[in-house]
Amino acid sequence: MKLEPISDLTGTLAERAYTSIREAILNNQAQPGERLRKDEIAETLGMSRAPVSEAIQRLAQEGLIEVRPQSGSFVARMSMMGIHEAIFIRQALELASVEHFAANRTDVQLVELESIMNLQELWAQKENQKEFHEADVRMHKLILESTGFAGLVSMAETTWSRVERARRMMLPKPGRIPDTLSEHWSIVNAIKESDPKAAREAMKNHLSKLPVLLGEFQEGHPELFE
C-alpha cells in the first residue's frame, strides 16, 4: 500500500495516519480484502503502532476498514447498501443546505461560488480531472458551510467516504465533466436568483446521477463489492 508521507500533513500523529491511510484506500492503492499490517504501516509512516491503531479504528467506523477479531484489519469490500445510505444522508444535508444558501447567500459568498465555477471551467477545458474534482469538492463544501453549522462539513465528509472510493475508481467517465458543469451552473444560477426551490431541484437532479453511475460500475466490477 502506497502511503502519503505524513510530513505533508497536519494534525496529531493519529490524524495524519488516518489521512494517509484513508487517501490510500480512496485512491485504490489498497485493494478490497487486502490485509493491513500495523507494524508495516507504522514503520512506513515513522510512528508507533498506537496512532496507527487509532486511525484504523476511525476508518473502521467509516466503513473503509473491516476489523476481524483474532484475524486482523482488512480493507473493506464496498457495500452498495452502505453507499446508498451515505448518498441518502448526503442528499438530505445538501438539499437543505442549498435551500438555505439560496435564501441567505451574501455577495461575498456568491463571488466565491462563481470563482470556483470559473476554475471548474478552466480545468474542464484542460481536461485536468484532479483539479476539476478539487474545485467540485470546494463548491459543495461552500454550500454546506453556508449553514453556519460547524460540524456539518465533517459529518458530510465522513459519511461520504464509502461513496468516494467507488466514485474515484470509476473515473474518468467519458462525458461526465461537461454534464457536471452544466448541472453545477444550474445550481449556481438558482442561487444567484435567490430561488431556494429551484436550487433544491437543481441539486436534487445533480445528485441523482451518481446512484445510476455506481450501479453500472458495480455490474462491471462485482468482485469489489460484498
Residue with cell 451518481: 210
Q: Kindly indicate the confidence band of residue 56, based on its pLDDT and cuts at 50, 70 and 90.
A: very high
Q: What is the 3-state secondary structure (H, E, C) of the chain?
A: CCCCCHHHCCCCHHHHHHHHHHHHHHCCCCCCCCEECHHHHHHHHCCCHHHHHHHHHHHHHCCCEEEECCCEEEECCECHHHHHHHHHHHHHHHHHHHHHHHHHCCHHHHHHHHHHHHHHHHHHHCCCHHHHHHHHHHHHHHHHHCCCCCCHHHHHHHHHHHHHHHHHHHCCCCCHHHHHHHHHHHHHHHHHCCCHHHHHHHHHHHHCHHHHHHHHHHHHCHHHEC
Share of the chain above pLDDT 70, in %: 100
Q: Tens digit of pLDDT for each residue in 62-83? A: 889 999 988 999 999 999 999 9
Instruction: Return the pLDDT at 172.
Output: 67
Is pLDDT above 90 for 194? Answer: yes
What pLDDT does residue 88 have? Answer: 94
Give pLDDT, residue 127: 87
Q: What mean pLDDT is predicted for residues 41-67?
A: 95
Whether the per-residue pLDDT at 7 is higher than 90: the answer is no
Residue 206: its pLDDT value, please?
A: 94
Lowest average pLDDT, out of 178-187, 190-199, 205-214, goes to 205-214
**Domains, the chain, ranges and CATH?**
6-75 (1.10.10.10), 80-224 (1.20.120.530)
Specify the higher pLDDT residue, 56 or 161: 56
Q: What are the pLDDT digits (tens) for 94-118?
A: 999 999 999 999 999 999 999 999 9
pLDDT of residue 1: 81
Residues 130-171: tens digit of each pLDDT? 899 899 999 999 999 999 998 999 889 888 888 888 888 887
Query: What pLDDT was estimated at residue 175?
Result: 78
